[in-house]
């Protein structure tokens, strides 16, 4: 994708994200239909569905040949990342949206032939738009984000970690995870993977580790984090395949190796 194409798509995507955010804020206090999906705590609302439909409808009108991967099922049945693919989470952090009315985001990642070209993460209630275009740096609203520091003491790092890592689990030795939590300076759990990626890019967290995420949770974040020099892999340091869910580690490269080799001992239960 050349720069002109990327800029044109970015302008529209940005407009749509801001418009969708405004629509959510406007309807914030109207009654919601809340349903559950995989289990009783896996929520979806009319707002999630309407927001995804809004993107799908706009994208298909302007770019009928682009493909869409969306959490709520309005997208295409995508089996490869060839061509231009929009990867959309209409509301990331639905539980926060329902219970807290804040700390949720719209996440839109745009890839071309598998390469991340554009990332947009919009913290709707705070009106913070994190954005990046490939090779052009990352921004919070109109302010450029600073490249991540090239040195970081591990015992001064703050990590985003879901508490499930500390319970007995199928991925890693939870004792090792407890050691990780004790070794770093602090841990946080915000309940929105997209926002956690944005915080890593902003440098207010040094890393975020998640057990099982899908393309829509991370597609935008990967692009934004990369633009400030961060890396994203599975929690075991393997490359991310956006066509399947997996564990995710996004962080300052200085601490990546330390986490992967020191704590993520696959199969060593």
Residues that bind ligand IPD (CB under 6 A): 71, 89, 92-94, 162, 191-193, 210, 213, 217
For residue 135, the minimal CB distance to ligand IPD (Å) is 27
Residue 76 annotated in ligand binding: no
Residue 47 falls in which region: left (phi positive, over 0), alpha (psi -120 to 50) or beta: alpha
Size of the site for Ca ion (CB under 5 A): 5
Are 197 and 169 spatial neighbours (Cβ–Cβ below 8 Å)?
no
Give backbone dihedrals phi and psi of 197, rounded to 5 degrees, phi first: -60, -45
CB closer to ligand IPD, 6 vs 72: 72
In whole angstroms, give the CA distance from residue 115 to residue 182.
36
The closest of 153, 160, 206 to 181, measured between CA atoms, is 160
CB closer to ligand IPD, 117 vs 196: 196
Residue 91 annotated in ligand binding: yes
Pick the stretch among 26-34, 149-157, 211-219, 224-232 that binds Ca ion (CB under 5 A): 211-219
From ligand IPD, Ca ion, none, which one binds at residue 213 (CB under 5 to 8 Å depending on kind)? Answer: ligand IPD
CB closer to ligand IPD, 94 vs 235: 94
- Residue showing the smallest CB distance to ligand IPD in the complex: 193
Does the footprint of Ca ion cover residue 89 (CB under 5 A)?
yes
Are 125 and 21 spatial neighbours (Cβ–Cβ below 8 Å)?
no
The closest of 259, 133, 257, 171 to 208, measured between CA atoms, is 259
From ligand IPD, Ca ion, none, which one binds at residue 230 (CB under 5 to 8 Å depending on kind)? Answer: none
Q: What are the structure tokens assigned to 258, written together?
A: 């330390």
Residue 92 annotated in ligand binding: yes
Judging by DSSP bridges, how do beta strands 43-45 and 128-133 pair with one another? unpaired
In whole angstroms, give the CA distance from residue 263 to residue 153.
16
CB closer to Ca ion, 130 vs 263: 130
Are 205 and 178 spatial neighbours (Cβ–Cβ below 8 Å)?
no
Applying CB under 5 A, among 117, 202, 206, 217 the residue interacting with Ca ion is: 217
For residue 91, the minimal CB distance to Ca ion (Å) is 5
For residue 93, the minimal CB distance to ligand IPD (Å) is 5
The closest of 55, 27, 8, 49 to 124, measured between CA atoms, is 27
Applying CB under 5 A, among 92, 117, 123, 202 the residue interacting with Ca ion is: 92
Annotated binding site for Mg(2+): 71, 89, 91-92, 217
């Amino acid at each position: 994708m050349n720069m002109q194409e990327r800029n044109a798509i970015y302008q529209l995507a940005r407009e749509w994200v801001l418009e969708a955010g405004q629509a959510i804020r406007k309807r914030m206090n109207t009654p919601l239909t809340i349903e559950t999906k995989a289990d009783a705590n896996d929520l979806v609302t009319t707002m999630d569905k309407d927001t995804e439909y809004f993107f799908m409808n706009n994208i298909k009108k302007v770019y009928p040949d682009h493909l869409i991967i969306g959490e709520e099922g309005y997208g295409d049945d995508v089996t490869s990342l060839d061509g231009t693919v929009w990867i959309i989470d209409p509301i990331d952090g639905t539980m926060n949206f329902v219970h807290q009315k804040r700390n949720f985001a719209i996440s839109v990642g745009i890839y071309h032939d598998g390469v991340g070209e554009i990332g947009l993460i919009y913290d709707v209630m705070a009106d913070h738009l994190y954005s990046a275009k490939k090779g052009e740096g990352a921004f919070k609203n109109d302010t450029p984000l600073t490249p991540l520091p090239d040195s970081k003491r591990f015992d001064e790092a703050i990590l985003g970690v879901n508490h499930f890592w500390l319970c007995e689990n199928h991925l890693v030795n939870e004792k090792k995870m407890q050691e990780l939590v004790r070794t770093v300076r602090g841990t946080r759990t915000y309940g929105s993977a997209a926002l956690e990626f944005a915080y890593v890019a902003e440098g207010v967290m040094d890393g975020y580790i998640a057990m099982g995420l899908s393309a829509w949770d991370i597609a935008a974040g990967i692009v934004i984090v990369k633009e400030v020099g961060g890396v994203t892999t599975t929690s075991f340091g393997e490359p991310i395949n956006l066509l399947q869910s997996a564990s995710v580690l996004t962080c300052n490269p200085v601490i990546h190796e330390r986490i992967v080799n020191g704590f993520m001992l696959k199969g060593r239960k």
